[in-house]
A and B are shown apart, each in its own frame.
Chain A
């Protein structure tokens, strides 16, 4: 009977869905659990005190914070322009801004080297100002910015575009200039998205490996960030690599969860949903 057959198809689809979710959860979750339980908690905390670990941690925090600031400062106006205006070459700009999301990081690193390296396109121009990028801490920041930008610009642009036109019209009839509207209406109303984008960009910077090692090298204390240190320590001291990894994991997860949800309440006393007009 048709009804019976539809019932069993429904059952099979449900089973397949559950199976898919379980498989994915295992694929992603099992490695994380393996990482966390490899070294006992007490020893783990001890390992974090190692000078090598601390050095990489310090460098990672400084560079990723720096690149996040750069991403936000450059990304906010770019996202606004893309959301609010149309101009010649907009499509090309969008493609360029999206590219790092799909580009292999080593390719990005090589491209950065060819552009800003000693013999690169802009290398001699930079040298004229006394700036040498490759194999410096600044190069780490540049590589992180390159890789993290799309993770900020894409969602923030969508957030700006989603601000209800009615609020902008109201602001205009209340004598608000475009910039006043941006800072007092658009930015506060899309704050949750901006914070989520910031968290994504920061987490991406923190985890950056390929572009960094290609463009900035692997110099302890100068360019060896935590992901690079994990890679190096795997050869010599697996437990130290694990300690570094767990630390990275905790930091990224905290960023993702914390910046995405927590501070919204600090700025908006009510939840987003409550503030939406019925």
Chain B
């Protein structure tokens, strides 16, 4: 069990977050580059010292500003795999894996024996004698993993372990890594900028935004109720965050920094998230009549074909608030949509998912 609560001032922004993770599980920390993910990992590893807070693993205090406790990296039971693996270029794969055992005082023969069986376990026993320069990216990644795991760490830290691999290799390694992680009894913290990777690997996800925890929970929770622009953009939905104001007719207004939208009144007050699926937004050249509560006018800013086959297209409308609609390519062409053209974007109050 890991529980950490750390604060650190980093140039422009403040990293300030609390996280916990269970043994045998994987906590994925996801966020844009610069969100503070790597700094968090370095603090967990003992390579960077937080200004304040505490880090506790299985009841042992690794850091506590209150108690003046700080264990440096070499005294922690951690394993770390970084994006570029940092394999020692002057050592063979076997000696790279044996390095940590030798450094902990294990004699040469048993170290090499254990390193060799670790390489076997991870499926690259035949590469033991090669140096990093003679290994492919995927093989280097496996050696780095073996090097970290052979020490049987309590806390395994993976910092973008797949991002240096090409697409093909990444697909292969992703599956292997996932089944390997499932067999481990340690606490795994996996850092990535890719929401897709996060959903693949995490039992629990934590979304980091500018040094703060934007959201944490299960993957399905994240998909259903995103609470950060980063995740919303990945899922491809319109996400708004604003203050709710009851109207009394069963509807409520959500006041946003730019504009207002009408929603079905969920009751209560304060700030809420409001999510609108782009497929629930219709576009019109003339003002639409009828009962649609939300109609906003604005120019088409961007038209993005939707993969894989581009049969559908996403239209970004510069209204207040800005909206993204998704429609079929045929209807977009039928309306003669092009960048700069003024359109009306409309969606119903019942089409908005409101959550706190």
Judge whether B84 is part of the interface by a CB distance below 8 angstroms.
yes
B132 and A170 contact, CB distance less than 8 A: no
Docked complex Cα distance between A40 and B73 (Å): 65
Of the listed stretches A9-17, A62-70, A180-188, A249-257, name the one at the interface; the rest are far from the partner chain: A180-188
B99 and A184 contact, CB distance less than 8 A: yes
Given the known inter-chain contacts A169-B47, A172-B46, please indicate yes or no for A177 contacting B89, CB distance below 8 A.
no
A171 and B133 contact, CB distance less than 8 A: no
Selected contact of A177 from candidates B87, B88, B103, CB within 8 Å: B103
Of the listed stretches A110-118, A151-159, A240-248, A267-275, name the one at the interface; the rest are far from the partner chain: A267-275
For chain B, residues 98 to 128, give those with C-beta under 8 angstroms from any C-beta of chain A: 99-100, 102-104
Inter-chain contacts of B84 with A (CB < 8 A): 166, 277
Selected contact of A275 from candidates B82, B90, B99, CB within 8 Å: B90
Judge whether B205 is part of the interface by a CB distance below 8 angstroms.
no
Docked complex Cα distance between A169 and B99 (Å): 13
Interface 0/1 of A140-179, CB less than 8 Å to B = 0000000000000000000000001011011111111100
B90 and A173 contact, CB distance less than 8 A: no
Inter-chain contacts of A166 with B (CB < 8 A): 82, 84, 86
Inter-chain contacts of B317 with A (CB < 8 A): none
Docked complex Cα distance between A167 and B42 (Å): 14
Docked complex Cα distance between A167 and B86 (Å): 6
Interface 0/1 of B132-173, CB less than 8 Å to A = 111000000000000110010000010000000000000000
B133 and A274 contact, CB distance less than 8 A: yes
Interface 0/1 of B206-230, CB less than 8 Å to A = 0000000000000000000000000
Q: Nearest A residue to B157 by beta-carbon distance? A: A173
Selected contact of B131 from candidates A176, A185, A269, CB within 8 Å: A269
A174 and B133 contact, CB distance less than 8 A: no
Q: Nearest B residue to A269 by beta-carbon distance? A: B131
A172 and B73 contact, CB distance less than 8 A: yes
Judge whether A199 is part of the interface by a CB distance below 8 angstroms.
no
A171 and B103 contact, CB distance less than 8 A: yes
Docked complex Cα distance between A277 and B86 (Å): 9
Query: In the complex, how many residues of chain B place their beta carbon closer than 8 angstroms to a beta carbon of chain A?
Result: 32
B47 and A172 contact, CB distance less than 8 A: yes
Q: Nearest B residue to A188 by beta-carbon distance? A: B90
Selected contact of A176 from candidates B45, B103, B132, B148, CB within 8 Å: B103
For chain A, residues 219 to 278, give those with C-beta under 8 angstroms from any C-beta of chain B: 267-270, 274-277
Judge whether B79 is part of the interface by a CB distance below 8 angstroms.
yes
Judge whether B72 is part of the interface by a CB distance below 8 angstroms.
yes
Q: Nearest B residue to A268 by beta-carbon distance? A: B90
Docked complex Cα distance between A228 and B133 (Å): 49
Judge whether A189 is part of the interface by a CB distance below 8 angstroms.
yes
Judge whether B21 is part of the interface by a CB distance below 8 angstroms.
no
Q: Nearest A residue to B47 by beta-carbon distance? A: A169
Docked complex Cα distance between A24 and B116 (Å): 56
Inter-chain contacts of A170 with B (CB < 8 A): 80, 82, 86-88
Given the known inter-chain contacts A174-B147, A185-B88, please indicate yes or no for A270 contacting B133, CB distance below 8 A.
yes
A174 and B100 contact, CB distance less than 8 A: yes
Docked complex Cα distance between A275 and B88 (Å): 9
Inter-chain contacts of A276 with B (CB < 8 A): 89, 133
A175 and B100 contact, CB distance less than 8 A: yes
Docked complex Cα distance between A277 and B144 (Å): 14
B89 and A189 contact, CB distance less than 8 A: yes
Selected contact of A277 from candidates B79, B89, B102, B151, CB within 8 Å: B89
Inter-chain contacts of B99 with A (CB < 8 A): 171, 174, 176, 184
CB distance from A275 to the nearest CB of B (A): 4
Judge whether B78 is part of the interface by a CB distance below 8 angstroms.
yes
Selected contact of B151 from candidates A169, A174, A189, CB within 8 Å: A174
CB distance from B81 to the nearest CB of A (A): 9
CB distance from B46 to the nearest CB of A (A): 7
Inter-chain contacts of A274 with B (CB < 8 A): 133
B151 and A275 contact, CB distance less than 8 A: no
B89 and A175 contact, CB distance less than 8 A: no
Given the known inter-chain contacts A172-B46, A270-B131, please indicate yes or no for A167 contacting B88, CB distance below 8 A.
yes
Inter-chain contacts of B157 with A (CB < 8 A): 173
A180 and B103 contact, CB distance less than 8 A: yes
Docked complex Cα distance between A275 and B80 (Å): 22
Judge whether B51 is part of the interface by a CB distance below 8 angstroms.
no
Selected contact of B80 from candidates A173, A185, A188, A270, CB within 8 Å: A173
Judge whether B302 is part of the interface by a CB distance below 8 angstroms.
no
Q: List 26 A-B contacts (CB under 8 A).
A: A169-B42, A169-B80, A169-B86, A170-B80, A170-B86, A170-B87, A172-B73, A172-B74, A173-B46, A173-B47, A173-B78, A174-B74, A174-B99, A174-B100, A175-B74, A175-B104, A184-B103, A185-B88, A189-B89, A189-B90, A275-B131, A275-B132, A276-B133, A277-B89, A277-B132, A277-B133
Q: List 7 additional contacts besides A174-B99, A175-B103, A177-B74; criterion CB under 8 Å.
A: A169-B47, A173-B46, A173-B74, A173-B76, A175-B74, A189-B89, A275-B89
- In the A-B complex, the 8 residue pairs with the smallest Cβ-Cβ separation, listed nearest first, are A174-B100, A172-B73, A176-B103, A275-B89, A170-B86, A166-B86, A173-B80, A175-B104
